[in-house]
Structure 1
Amino acid sequence: MSIKNALVFALLASACAVAAADDARDRKFISKGMHEGEVLFKIGKPDHEAFVRNFKGQPEEKTWTYFPHAQDPQTITILTLRAGVVAEIERKIAR
């Protein structure tokens, strides 16, 4: 690997780490009524996704779970999405 490639890789890795830290702090700013895409843009992909209801012809319901992060320690954030919109937000202290 050339020095130029190594430098580019190091810069990208550090930028990703900074972005992940910002995302964890932004979890508390998610609100009911936000669309799925907006949540993904603000805080990224969930650590776990589960489908609650997924029947043909009915609105999809699922939960997204975000595990504790260094910037948001001991807090699990669980979002319930119905038809692609945040319907419920639950933040729990995990010890």
Structure 2
Amino acid sequence: MRLTTLAFVTLAMAATSTLAADAKERKFIRQGMPEGEVLFKIGKPDHENMIRAEQGHPEEKAWTYFPGYGDAQTLTVITFRSGVVAKVERKIAR
């Protein structure tokens, strides 16, 4: 029982520190990065919006990350075109 509790506490602490590090990494996202690399560096977005998904046109979508610990007061919106970062917007959100 104690080993299970210790493992759970250790896992929870590791996840918390990982989330904090991810928010700090948002400012390093640049044009040309593949979607998978962004997902690996900063995790899943808080909101995803499909901009265009028409046959014959490149897929466009936007990922939004709300302010968080390590990136307080900054809203980050990343626009992807064909799975690659096309634009990064960082706005102060109060």
TM-score normalized with structure 2 length: 0.97
Note if 1:74 corresponds to 2:73.
yes
- Structure 1 gaps of 5+ residues are none
CA distance in 1, matches of 2:88, 2:63: 10
Matched, 1:63 2:62: yes
User: 2:37 maps to what in 1?
Assistant: 38
Specify the alignment match of 2:91 in structure 1: 92
Which secondary structure state, in structure 2, belongs to the residue aligned with residue 5 of structure 1? helix
Name the TM-score, length of structure 1 as normaliser.
0.96
**1:62, 1:78 → 2: CA distance?**
10
CA distance in 1, matches of 2:31, 2:87: 6
Matching residue of 2:49 = 50
Q: Deviations over 1:41-67 (max 9, x none)?
A: 110010000000011232110000000
Matched residues, percent identical?
Answer: 59
Structure 1 stretches of 4+ with a deviation exceeding 4 A read none
The aligned residue for residue 14 of structure 1 is: 13
Question: Over residues 19-73 of structure 1, what are the superposed CA-to-partner deviations in whole Å (9 max), with x where a residue is unaligned?
Answer: 0111000100000000000000110010000000011232110000000002111
What is the number of residues matched between the two proteins?
A: 94
Distance in 2 (CA, whole Å) between partners of 1:86 and 1:67 is 18
Residues in 1 aligned to 2:22 and 2:56: alpha-carbon distance in whole angstroms? 34
Once the two structures are TM-superposed, the CA of residue 3 in structure 1 deviates from its matched residue by 1.1
Residue matched to 2:23: 24
CA RMSD after TM alignment: 0.7
